[in-house]
A and B are shown apart, each in its own frame.
Chain A
Amino acid sequence: MPRRHPEEAAFPLRARFPSRPRPPSRARPPRHSGLPFSGLLSRTRLPLYARIAWYGFRRHSAYRTAALAGAFTNTVFGILRAHVLIALWEARPGLAGYDVADAVTFCFLSQAFIGPMQLFGGGLQLAERVRGGDVAVDLARPASLQAWNLADDLGRAAYLLLLRSVPPTLVGAALFGIVFPTEPAAWVFFTVSFVLGVVVSFGWRYLVALSSFWIVDDRGTQSLSLVLMMFFSGMVLPLNLFPGWLGTLAQSLPWAAMVQIPADVYLGKRDALEAFALQALWAAALLVLGALATRAARRKVVVQGG
């Protein structure tokens, strides 16, 4: 009796592969001909990216405690900032076209944006995966690296909107009373502006993350990005407090699309279509830059690690 090789007993081998090599006689779909897949991107990949977004949402839900801790911090700092802004606006009523209620609302909105807009940077695993070499796996997939990351990031933003944006807003409303738009159209405008803001934020952070293909240590780019995002988004101070040309410049840079513009759309201080146009322009510009940078990275990529 032929002895079974001990390795065969390692799994309970119940099943067998379906027969020998594929019989050429049987008419199979031309799976390996390549033709059916040539128009890969022209066909909709929506189910794939929708699923990635859903996974991104669920991936973050694995870290609920961290999100709630973030929400707590955002709320506490919101209260501190609100007091500072109240003092400022009581000393200078009507400053920058805001009244005290507007200023407090701006404060809690910007606190609520920290999570979904990822205002402290990061949020993408990409930089770490480039540094560690895991990006090899991502690059080997039949999918766009950028679209994959965007979908994942939208899922992240949606999750953080629920856990990190709602609590500070509610606390702000209860303690200070914030402005709530009454017209449904205002909420639609705000939603569009908010989503565009998240896309601009992604476009920017994707470029920062991608920089680690060229600069192995991305801490420098990350901290530069942090300063730009905090200062030019309106997170530190509303951009309409910036004087003269600096204010004009800050209002037209991409970071304004992440806090100042959606907040102004919420407060009804800015023409919605004009706001969308600027945000969409920056979103498109950053995504195109990201796509070009991805192509360049693919071409000259040095995938780290063995």
Chain B
Amino acid sequence: MIEVDRAGRSFTVGRGRSRRTVHAVQDLSFTVEAGEFVGYLGPNGAGKSTTIKMLTGILAPTSGRIEVAGLDPLRRRTDLTRRIGVVFGQRTTLWWDLPLKDSFELVRHLYKVDRNDFRRRLDELADLLDLSGFLHTPVRQLSLGQRMRGDITAALLHDPAVLVLDEPTIGLDVVSKAAMRAFLGRLNAERGTTVLLTTHDLGDIEKLCRRVMLIHHGRLGFDGTLDDLRALAPGEDSIEDVVTHLYTAPPAER
């Protein structure tokens, strides 16, 4: 469903003498099969968001090849948007000053969703994500948790085969987080939607992901199951300690 083959992205920053090239992502290769739920981890600045932006066709890779849902994200961006849903947890696609429902209506036009399909899916999602209490509330009045549920709904109304989530639980309280996880887990298990999730919350990973990828300094450092990951640092107890150990240990040990 997602194929990344030796993809790289570099940026030129600074001017004059301080001009230099930053490799945000280097030589990145992985494959995600249909129906997988993959966690994509890495410290701040490791290249997670750059990867997501390349997968969604917002950013052109400077090297390598990427294919999502059978399409080149950059050249077939518009077609691709119909097959994937994207949520940037720190941003919103919703109309700030208008009732939530209006943003969904626009999504229907944006993706040319059939009116009946739209109604059925919105009913389902409103039920699952418990939106009915604030469908007619202006988005600026929503709590962060409500807004995030609105954004997830907007990303799913066109029934995408792949869902890409960039920190969907950031800033959420424990209850909202748990609710979000329960929903995503069921979306993947019952609907078969392929999910790629970046997060700093290892609880998300433990609860949801069968497979984890770790990116460090723009390179893929680990790709395997959660158990494999634990086995890498047998001395550590929690998954959090394991990940911290991996990121801070000298490179030879990795």
Interface residue ranges, A against B (CB under 8 Å) = 5-8, 10-22, 31-32, 34, 37-38, 40, 47-48, 51-52, 55, 58-59, 62-63, 133-134, 136-137, 139-143, 299, 301-303, 305-306
Contacts and interface: CB of A to CB of B under 8 A. Distances in A.
Nearest to B207: A7
The 6 A-B residue pairs whose C-beta atoms are closest, nearest first, are A21-B192, A10-B179, A15-B127, A17-B190, A7-B178, A62-B97
Contacts of B110: 48, 141-143
A303 B53 contact: yes
Contacts of A303: 53, 58-59
B186 interface: yes
* Residue picked from A7, A62, A301, most chain B C-beta under 10 Å: A7
Given A10-B175, A51-B109, 9 more contacts: A7-B178, A7-B179, A11-B130, A11-B179, A13-B128, A40-B79, A58-B97, A136-B91, A142-B111
Given A32-B83, A141-B81, A48 B109 contact: yes
Given A10-B182, A59-B97, A140 B161 contact: no
Chain B interface residue bracket vs A: 35 or more
A237 B232 CA distance: 75
B120 to A, nearest CB: 9
B130 A48 contact: no
17 contacts: A7-B178, A7-B181, A7-B207, A10-B178, A11-B128, A15-B127, A20-B190, A21-B192, A32-B82, A34-B71, A37-B112, A55-B98, A59-B96, A134-B92, A137-B91, A305-B90, A306-B48
B240 interface: no
Nearest to A12: B130
A301 B128 contact: no
Contact of A18 (B35, B56, B96, B124): B124
A59 B138 CA distance: 10
Given A6-B178, A10-B182, A32 B53 contact: no
Interface of B: 11, 35, 44-45, 48-49, 53, 56-60, 69-71, 76-79, 81-83, 86, 88, 90-93, 95-98, 102, 105-106, 109-112, 124, 127-130, 138, 159, 161, 175-176, 178-179, 181-183, 186-187, 190-192, 207
Contacts of A37: 78-79, 82, 112
B78 A55 contact: no
* Residue picked from A62, A137, A299, most chain B C-beta under 10 Å: A137
A136 B128 contact: no
Contact of A38 (B56, B79, B111): B79
A13 B69 CA distance: 30
Contacts of A62: 97, 138
Contacts of B60: 299
B128 A17 contact: yes
B174 to A, nearest CB: 9
Contacts of A48: 106, 109-110
Contact of A133 (B86, B91, B183): B91
B130 A137 contact: no
Given A34-B79, A302-B11, A55 B102 contact: yes
B78 A142 contact: yes
A303 B10 CA distance: 13
A301 B91 contact: no
A51 B97 contact: no
